[in-house]
Amino acid sequence: MLKMHNVSKVYRTDLIETHALRELSLEVGAGEFVAVSGPSGSGKTTFLNIAGLLEDFESGSYQLDGRDVSRLSDDQRSKLRNEKIGFIFQSFNLIPDLNVFDNVDVPLRYRRMSAADRRERITSALELVGLASRMKHLPSQLSGGQQQRVAIARAIAGDPALLLADEPTGNLDSLMARQVMDLLEQINEMGFAKDIANRICFLDQGRILEEGPPAQIFSAPKEPRTQQFLARIVAAGRL
Ligand SMILES: Nc1ncnc2c1ncn2[C@@H]1O[C@H](COP(=O)(O)OP(=O)(O)OP(=O)(O)O)[C@@H](O)[C@H]1O
Ligand SMILES: [Mg+2]
pLDDT at 34: 82
Does the pLDDT of residue 180 top 70, yes or no?
yes
What separation in Å is there between the alpha carbon of 124 and the centre of ligand 1?
Answer: 36
Q: Is the pLDDT of residue 7 over 70?
A: yes
**Given ligand 1 and candidates 16, 24, 44, 166, which is best to mutate, with the most ligand atoms within 8 Å of its CB?**
44
How far away, in angstroms, is 2 Cα from ligand 1 center?
22
Query: CA of 98: how far to CAs of 37, 60, 65, 145, 184, in Å?
Result: 33, 39, 32, 18, 24
Model confidence band, residue 232 (pLDDT cutoffs 50, 70, 90)? low
Question: Cα dihedral angle (127, 131, 137, 141), rounded to 10 degrees?
Answer: -160
Ligand 1 atom showing the smallest separation from residue 167 Cα: 27
How far is the centre of ligand 1, averaged over its atoms, from the C-alpha of 206 (Å)? 9
Confidence class for position 38, pLDDT limits 50, 70, 90:
confident
Please report the pLDDT score of residue 233 as a whole number. 58
Q: What's the mean pLDDT in 159-182?
A: 85
Task: Please report which confidence band the pLDDT of residue 147 belongs to, taking 50, 70 and 90 as the band edges.
Answer: very high
Q: Determine the distance separating the centroid of ligand 1 and the alpha carbon of 172, expressed in angstroms.
A: 21
Domains and CATH numbers, the chain: 2-235 (3.40.50.300)
Alpha-carbon separation of residue 226 from 67, 98, 99, 235 (angstroms): 34, 36, 36, 24
At 198-229, the pLDDT tens digits run 667 777 788 887 777 655 544 433 333 333 33
* Ligand (nearest to CA of 203): 1
pLDDT for 198: 62
- Nearest-CA residue for ligand 1 atom 5 is 11
Measuring CA to CA, how many Å separate 32 from each of 116, 178, 196, 200? 32, 20, 5, 11
Task: Tell me, in angstroms, the distance from the centre of ligand 2 to residue 93's CA.
Answer: 15
Does residue 116 carry a pLDDT above 90? yes
Ligand 1 lining (C-beta closer than 6 Å): 11, 18, 20, 38, 40-46, 230
Residue nearest to atom 27 of ligand 1 (CA): 40
CA distances from 83 to 53, 175, 237 (A): 12, 32, 14
Q: Which ligand is nearest to the CA of 16?
A: 1
Residue 159 has a pLDDT of 84
> What pLDDT was estimated at residue 172?
87
Cα 171 versus chain centre, distance? 16
